Amino acid sequence: MTDCRAFLIVMDSVGIGGAPDADQFFNGNRPDTGANTVGHIAQARPLHMPVLARLGLGAAVRLASGQDAPGLMSPPQGLWGGATQISRGKDTPSGHWEIAGVPVPWDWHYFPDTAPAFPPEVTARICDLAGTQGILANCHASGTQVIEDFGTDHIRTGWPICYTSVDSVLQIAAHEEHFGLDRLIALCQSLAPMLHAMRVGRVIARPFLGEAPGEFRRTGNRRDFAIAPPGRTILDIAQNGGRVTHAIGKIGDIFSHRGISHLHKGKSDADLADHLIRLGSEAEPGSLTFANFVEFDTNFGHRRDLPGYAAQLEWFDGIAGRFLDTLRPGDLAIFTADHGNDPSWHGTDHTRERVAVLGHGVGTRAIGLVGFSDIGASVLAHLGLPAPDHGRSFL
């Protein structure tokens, strides 16, 4: 068994434009053609990201989209390229599963942008599990706005706040104290099998606190109940091969906690960064660490907060530098993303984009445009493990 370690870090929603099928994906009635998360942020305000720029982030943006990213156009000194997705979803499970070697083989079920959004049998099941006479919202909504709009009624009635989006998801918001955190998580966990049978990707528990509009705030105790991947992921293959696997952040939820030896959670990306840096020093020989940093997406992309997104990118670049300083000879670290969420774009949904593939530990290497599954295949090749069912190594 090789002693080399692998670290796969997903910067959630940090797309680089150029998806060839972007015209088939929409925010409202407008296609995602031309969306470019990193490129448009850098054009609005040049980015200072010396670590990822040195690996080749600017070059990857130009390769994927033909655009320059001011502040990031350093000559690459790492492995660099772009990845194109084939799964028919611009969402978290689709992107992560395909990176891990399992392109999504079905079309997801999406709830219509109507009120009510959920069919009667779903609403009845939620009421039965929650022990309530009804639900609140029952529509497409922003997760922060929906608790402002319905939080007071929720505290008064005890009815859960149920909403969806253009993603294949049903989210339930409830007050941690008035409704109960354990009760909310149990509700979502019990509801999930029904939704998974419908090919709805996730049921998400969204707890919040506060006593009045303006005070309501979501907490860090979110739980995702995702449909299980329909094939062997790189986590399954690594664990079955006797390797220790570490999951940081949402990775456990995304992969239904399959193939994971140790789960490392936190209230914020800052907490997750501490885990990543610690594991850079402590992770076992031959191990695989798979991390997701979600706040690019949840805090800034969906809210179309371009200055906030820019600041988060620059903060993360500092984390990347500290993490890379912990690595040993022979280790591989790959930074990538699962989809885009251009904060300069219309709407509030993810944007269909290519993603960067930036590698440390294998010298300077241009890999061109590859597939999402090639990322996972390359991680396994570095670890000396069998290839997944999809993807080819670019190492």
Model confidence at 135, pLDDT cuts 50, 70, 90, reads very high
The DSSP code sequence of 291-341 is EEE-HIIIIIITTT-HHHHHHHHHHHHHHHHHHHTT--TT-EEEEE-SSB-
Residue 350 annotated as binding site: yes
Could you tell me how far CA 347 lies from the centroid of its own chain?
19
CA proximity to 38, closest of 64, 79, 69, 7: 69
| Identity at 278, one-letter amino acid code | R
Q: Which pLDDT value is given to residue 167?
A: 84
CA proximity to 195, closest of 173, 233, 224: 224
Tens-place pLDDT, residues 173-213: 999 999 999 999 999 999 999 999 999 999 999 999 999 99
Type and span of the H or E element at 282: helix 269-282
Tens-place pLDDT, residues 333-345: 999 999 999 999 9
Model confidence at 166, pLDDT cuts 50, 70, 90, reads confident
Q: What is the mean pLDDT of residues 10-38?
A: 97
Q: Domains in the chain, please, with CATH?
A: 6-105+230-383 (3.40.720.10), 120-226 (3.30.70.1250)
| Residue 105, preceding peptide bond in cis (omega within 30° of 0) | no
Model confidence at 2, pLDDT cuts 50, 70, 90, reads confident
Q: How many Cα atoms are found within 13 Å in the side-chain-facing hemisphere of 12?
A: 24
pTM of the model: 0.91
Place of tokens 């390359």: 378
Is 335 within 8 Å of 316 (Cβ atoms)?
A: no
Q: Which pLDDT value is given to residue 192?
A: 98
Within 10 angstroms of residue 341's Cβ, the number of other Cβ atoms is 28
Say how far apart CA 151 and CA 258 lie, in whole Å. 34
Tens-place pLDDT, residues 250-273: 999 999 999 999 999 999 999 999
Q: What is the mean pLDDT of residues 1-10?
A: 92
Residue 331 annotated as binding site: no
Residue 338 annotated as binding site: yes
Residue 382 annotated as binding site: no
Taking the alpha carbons of 10, 14, 18, 19 in that order, is the dihedral positive or negative?
positive
* Tokens coding 31: 């296609």
Does the pLDDT value for residue 1 go beyond 70?
Answer: no
* Tokens coding 48: 């200072």
What is the percentage of the chain residues whose pLDDT exceeds 70? 100
Say how far apart CA 163 and CA 182 lie, in whole Å. 20
Q: Which pLDDT value is given to residue 28?
A: 87
Within 10 angstroms of residue 141's Cβ, the number of other Cβ atoms is 21
Q: What is the mean pLDDT of residues 301-322?
A: 97
Tens-place pLDDT, residues 375-387: 999 999 999 999 9
Alpha-carbon distances of 255 from 13, 247, 273, 327, 339, rounded to whole Å: 18, 10, 20, 26, 17
CA proximity to 177, closest of 221, 119, 235, 112: 221
Does the pLDDT value for residue 132 go beyond 70?
Answer: yes
Q: Which pLDDT value is given to residue 381?
A: 98
Tens-place pLDDT, residues 45-73: 999 999 999 999 999 999 999 999 999 99
Residue 258: DSSP 8-state: -
Model confidence at 227, pLDDT cuts 50, 70, 90, reads very high
Tens-place pLDDT, residues 234-245: 999 999 999 999
CA proximity to 274, closest of 332, 222, 318, 319: 319
Using DSSP bridges, classify how beta strands 288-293 and 6-11 pair: parallel, antiparallel or unpaired. parallel
Tens-place pLDDT, residues 273-290: 999 999 999 999 999 999
Q: Which pLDDT value is given to residue 220?
A: 87
Tens-place pLDDT, residues 344-376: 999 989 999 999 999 999 999 999 999 999 999
**Sequence-ordered list of residues with C-beta below 8 angstroms from that of 144, at least 6 positions apart, any chain:** 218, 303
In terms of C-beta density within 10 A (0-12 exposed, 13-18 middle, 19 or more buried), how is residue 348 classed?
A: middle
* Tokens coding 349: 């949904």
